[in-house]
Chain A
């Protein structure tokens, strides 16, 4: 199993540009999520999904969109990039949902810089 994969590894954008961060998992996990990691802030949840066709907002959703058309894929879209979105983005997945708190498997991350 490849686990959780993310592309690209690095990206530089100009303010106002849009892009999609890709995330895929091959473990048939119901739950997938996106986090951003900033220095001194830990990981903060952006959006999550408990299954295909179901998404919801996390702690810091503004400026980001997600969709979940398949169990495997959970892309994150930045509609109009801003310097405040410069961060490292991690995708994660886990079995189950709700109060079934199984371990989360994280992808390798995407380091995004917005100029």
Chain B
């Protein structure tokens, strides 16, 4: 269907360890967006990927779009306590957006 599957649901890491969340679709995606939601907050846009094989970096965050445009990943290098929150991917189709269920990241100091 239209949904995107996101794994893992939860991830606990020691501060300084790396973190990766994955977003998968059974159908080809025209685009994928990533959002971060801090505890008690609202989703905040991080990035959008539209091209096959695209890789974008934002400081310690690396975003990838698969060659077949059916999956995407967000990788955080050397996590910090400020990275705590839930990371969502979302696909846009027509005028609708479908969000993944999110990955909740806990960083242990």
**Chain A positions near chain B (C-beta within 8 angstroms):** 31, 33, 35, 40-45, 48, 50, 56, 58-59, 90, 92, 97-99, 101-109
Compute how far the CA of A109 lies from the CA of B45 in the bound complex, rounded to whole angstroms: 15
- Nearest A residue to B32 via CB reads A101
Checking B6, B95, B99 against A44 with a beta-carbon cut-off of 8 angstroms, the contacting residue is B99
Given A56-B95, A97-B95, A99-B30, answer yes or no on A104-B45 (Cβ-Cβ < 8 Å): yes
> When each residue 28-46 of chain B gets 1 if its CB lies under 8 Å from chain A and 0 otherwise, what string results?
0011010100000111110
When C-beta atoms are compared, the residue in chain A nearest to B6 turns out to be A42
A97 to B92, CA, bound (A): 11
Main secondary structure of the interface of B (DSSP, over half): strand
B106, chain A: closest CB distance, angstroms: 16
**A45 adjacent to B98 (CB under 8 Å):** yes
| Identity of the chain B residue whose Cβ is nearest the Cβ of A33 in the assembled complex | B97
Q: How far is the CA of A92 from the CA of B31 in the complex (A)?
A: 18
